[in-house]
Copies of this chain bind each other. A is one copy, B any other.
């Protein structure tokens, strides 16, 4: 690689959305990809996944054809390590599915469009898990309310009950939400 004419090594109009490479590709397509990646990256925090993972999902989502590792590496500015780990994660949670390759035997990925499955999964993994462990924790707490002045104990019992109530209510709401996501 001997002195390419381009002055600044490779910082000219490269990134967009901070992760998508612009290199020398069709503006229109890159812009679309960047927008899609941006969309998912913005939601990453809410869903509790690192941005790199959201970007991976986004780039696959923006590609009409299944993406290979190489394709992704070329389009996103991420290390092989991140790509590898991210793809593993996304496969595991069912966000991406691998499409058995056509010609070559390289693995390719496309987004699983059953978005509700993803949502369900999220609800189960994060909310439900927390709710269940929380419940038993609360029960344990109930047994340790200090026996001090009567009014104190009364207040604390009431608070605890409020918490338990809230937990139960949320828990009973979960199936409703899941059902709702299923419709349509």
Q: Is the CB of A134 within 8 A of B180?
A: no
A155 at the interface (CB under 8 A from B): yes
Q: Is the CB of A166 within 8 A of B115?
A: yes
Chain A interface size, as a band, is 35 or more
Q: Which residue of chain B has the shortest Cβ distance to A29 in the bound complex?
A: B146
Contacts of A159 in B (CB 8 A): 61, 111, 113
A82 at the interface (CB under 8 A from B): no
A184 at the interface (CB under 8 A from B): yes
A28 at the interface (CB under 8 A from B): yes
Please encode chain A, from 27 to 54, with 1 for each CB lying within 8 Å of some chain B CB and 0 for all others.
0110110011011001101101000000
Q: Which residue of chain B has the shortest Cβ distance to A137 in the bound complex?
A: B39
Q: Interface of chain A, helix or strand or loop or mixed?
A: helix
In the bound complex, how far is the Cα of B111 from the Cα of A159, in angstroms? 10
In the bound complex, how far is the Cα of B92 from the Cα of A62, in angstroms? 40
A140 at the interface (CB under 8 A from B): yes
* 30 A/B residue pairs, CB under 8 Å, sorted by A: A26-B146, A29-B148, A32-B145, A32-B146, A32-B156, A35-B137, A35-B141, A35-B144, A36-B141, A39-B137, A39-B138, A39-B141, A42-B130, A42-B133, A42-B137, A43-B134, A46-B127, A46-B130, A64-B148, A64-B151, A64-B152, A64-B156, A113-B162, A116-B166, A119-B166, A169-B181, A169-B183, A169-B184, A176-B176, A177-B177
